Amino acid sequence: MSELRFPENFVWGAATAAYQIEGAARDDGRGPSIWDTFSRTPGKVYQGHTGDVACDHYHRYADDVALMAELGLRAYRFSVAWPRIQPDGTGPVNPRGLDFYDRLTDTLLERGIDPIVTLYHWDLPQAFGDRGGWTNRDTAEHFATYATAVYARLGDRVGTWTTLNEPWCSAYLGYGNGVHAPGEQDPAAAFTAVHHLLLGHGLAARALRAAGARTVGITLNPADVLPADPQSAADAAAVRLVDGLHNRIFFDPLLAGGYPDDVREHVARIVEPTFIRDGDEKLIAAPIDLLGINYYAPTYVAGRPDGAGDAAYPGTDGAVHFVPPAGPLTEMGWMIEPAGLTRLLERIATDYPGVPLMITENGAAFPDKAGSDSPDGPGQVIDTDRIAYLDGHLRAAHEAISRGVDLRGYLVWSFMDNFEWAEGYRKRFGIVHVDYLTQRRTPKASARWYQEVISRNGL
Ligand code: FCB
């Protein structure tokens, strides 16, 4: 294959999230989050796994950062655990919680790695969970207060601020199909949560900006939605509906001034949207400096009156059939289709021009082993399937750049194996293997491959 070079100053890095790696669930005054509660609810997470210990990154961060530096990472996207900062939600700021991120930030900077902070990666303080979580408008207001507190401590050293990670998941998996915390299955709650998450973004972005933040953005997980049959009008209608619920319900208020009419009408059939108040959309539409894109797999749909729909897309039953993934799949059962990334990036750049993009997550779970039981020998993980996945998606990203998309960087998901939400520890996304018994880290072949990509700034 031909050699590809990325633009100068292209940001190469990796991403993680607090609850997935930190552990130390009770250390230094951390309060409980909805994920602590959810993972303890029987039947919600694979084999009752929790984030109590996870990768113990809270105690091992210095070694982890040293490994990141060894691999040549230029940026590291991590999230701040709100329950460390405000253990009971609204109460006073806990300085010991901030201390950890302070140390982490300094350690990254000492190693020449740029910190990219995500303020919310799903671990809502349980205190808010008790009051309706994101269905309660107050949560959005409090989110801005929390954002201000984190900025006050780290803002002198952190340049890039992301408000939310994948509000689609928080709203639709948390309140629609109940696969994520808090595990509710209530279509009206799901749409209410969508709006309050966006409002929380708007309020936090305004607060960050007022405090002096340079680069403020949000990370979405837009779907590349495709028709099962490109000739079918019914399938095209299904694409339009799912695209509205997955993509335009977020993109339009953030980047085009407000919710699209067709999405509003769909929502109004399920819940009277009284939660959208005058002025909200204006707040949500305040300009952002960077849009984070997480991409894993495409979504194929067909328009069918007998379609079962999906509770993660409220109101799609009796209209949409979600086509089961086929072809090469990752261990998550997700389709491998790098072209979807090119399509998505181009579409966003075309429909919502003017915002620089960054791939804030992309990667794959595959079954791999390290240690004496590894088929590749002691301490080795030869994950050629992951390398192929990453290679394909980097080529797809490069293709988007060559077609004019303003793509600023690529962050692999994930730096290391971690707690994969409802799947617990059984799904491994890391380029670094974690042995959860010993907490030993072993760079996989993909980590060495990525190191090479970064040092050449290309493939
Ligand atoms: C994304 C999440 C991330 C991780 C990957 C596999 O939806 O943002 O935390 O779980 O999926």
* CB of 362 sitting under 6 A from ligand 1: no
Distance in Å, CA 279 to ligand 1 centroid: 31
- pLDDT at site 1: 60
Say whether 141 is catalytic: no
* Predicted TM-score of the model (pTM): 0.98
Which structure tokens are listed for 262?
């067709």
* CB of 251 sitting under 6 A from ligand 1: no
Residue with tokens 């984070």, as numbered in its chain: 292
Largest CA distance in the chain: 62
Q: Whose Cα sits closest to atom 10 in ligand 1?
A: 420
Say whether 399 is catalytic: no
Q: Is 225 exposed, middle or buried (0-12, 13-18, 19+ CB in 10 A)?
A: buried
| Residue environment code for 247-263, b if the CB has 16+ CB neighbours within 10 A, otherwise e | bbbbbbbbbeeebbeeb
- pLDDT at site 377: 74
Distance in Å, CA 252 to ligand 1 centroid: 23
* CB of 122 sitting under 6 A from ligand 1: no
- pLDDT at site 372: 65
CA distance readout (Å), 221 to 169, 280, 350, 389, 411: 8, 22, 17, 18, 14
- pLDDT at site 86: 98
Q: Which residues of the chain, if any, have pLDDT below 50?
A: none
- pLDDT at site 382: 95
Distance in Å, CA 420 to ligand 1 centroid: 7
- pLDDT at site 379: 77
**Three-point CA angle 142, 189, 280, nearest 5°:** 50
Nearest ligand 1 atom to the CA of 421 is 10
The residues facing 320 across adjacent strands are: 303
* CB of 423 sitting under 6 A from ligand 1: no
Per the residue annotation, which of 361, 399, 420, 423 is the catalytic one? Answer: 361
Q: How many CA atoms lie within 13 A of 336 on its CB side?
A: 19
Nearest ligand 1 atom to the CA of 418 is 10
Per the residue annotation, which of 166, 337, 420, 423 is the catalytic one? Answer: 166
Torsion from C-alpha of 278, 280, 283, 285, nearest 10 degrees: -110
The helix (H) or strand (E) run that includes residue 411 is: strand 407-413
* CB of 413 sitting under 6 A from ligand 1: yes
- pLDDT at site 391: 98
Distance in Å, CA 299 to ligand 1 centroid: 16
Residue of 166, 172, 427 to test ligand 1 pocket, by largest number of atoms within 8 Å of CB: 166
Query: Do residues 280 and 199 lie in contact, with contact meaning Cβ atoms separated by under 8 Å?
Result: yes
For the chain, what's the residue count? 459
DSSP string, 119-152: EESS--BHHHHTTTGGGSHHHHHHHHHHHHHHHH
Which structure tokens are listed for 121?
């990666």
Which structure tokens are listed for 115?
């910190």
Q: Which residue, 196, 198, 86, is CA-closest to 147?
A: 86
- pLDDT at site 404: 98
Distance in Å, CA 302 to ligand 1 centroid: 26
* CB of 365 sitting under 6 A from ligand 1: no
Distance in Å, CA 288 to ligand 1 centroid: 22
Query: Do residues 10 and 409 lie in contact, with contact meaning Cβ atoms separated by under 8 Å?
Result: yes
The residues facing 413 across adjacent strands are: 15
